[in-house]
Amino acid sequence: MLNDRLKGKNVVITGASSGIGAKMAFLCAKSGANVIILARSWDKLQNLKQEIETDHQVTVRAYKLDVSNIDEIQKVFAEIIADVHHVDVLVNNAGFGIFDTVEEAKLDDAKAMFETNVIGLIGCTKMVLPNMKARRQGHIINVASIAGKIATPKSSVYSASKHAVLGFTNALRMEVADEGIFVTSVNPGPIETNFFNIADQSGSYVKNVQKFILSSDQVAAAVVKRMLSRTREINLPRWMNLGDVFFTLFPSTFERLGKKAIFKK
């Protein structure tokens, strides 16, 4: 799957060392983009860089970044701008979740989720916006979650962080609507990645929703296909978005009738 719009464009992907971030990096390189990968795991980044360069005969730039650290964001993105001069596409993909009831949830975990999923995402966005505005072009893609639309038990803090991402994304889209900048939210259901190694250490949730789990290849392909296009949202799987519509229109009925389905964790 190729996206000819990406040829020669600079694409920055956070949380790129594994999962859909890594898969997007491969697809962007295959489409002729200049790929810039960021993550905390330096060894994994270096291995990914080598694999992509070997497969596609391109030069990949890798930077170590913990998006929960604002100082690091400012330093690393200043280096990126100095190296490549501008960013055409920013994919805010870094994020994590922990599934706990409100009573069991640790405040340190809640703080860490918001620092990574929300504050870090905002910080990365702020670093590329001025240049995109000056050039009157660019695309910001924020990986949220269906959990940002439909909250479920034991995902209270994670859902809250993704609600925040969606609110930020929707407001940003309106702010830059006349600046030539596209803003897209990605709202997938459960994905077969390392995410659940942290979020669901018991393994019960993954077992219960196994038949609904998306492949990372499927999600990555859907995102890369729409890069540099005016796409408001990418909702996967599509049928799950119907649940969001029903939840929005009939929340009480959804919670009553869907009780068995949403108590999967």
What amino acid positions are annotated as catalytic residues?
158
Query: Do the Cβ atoms of 227 and 29 come closer than 8 Å?
Result: no
Q: What six digits make up the tokens of 166?
A: 């969606």
Query: Do the Cβ atoms of 200 and 206 come closer than 8 Å?
Result: yes
| Residues recorded for the chain | 265
What angle separates helix 120-135 from helix 70-84, to the nearest 10 degrees? 30
How many CA within 13 A on the CB side of residue 107? Answer: 0
Q: Which residues of 197-233 are buried (b: 16+ CB within 10 A; e: fewer)?
A: eebbeeeebbeebeeeebebeebbbbbbbbbbeebeb
SS3 sequence of 91-123: EECCCCCCCECCCCCCHHHHHHHHHHHHHHHHH
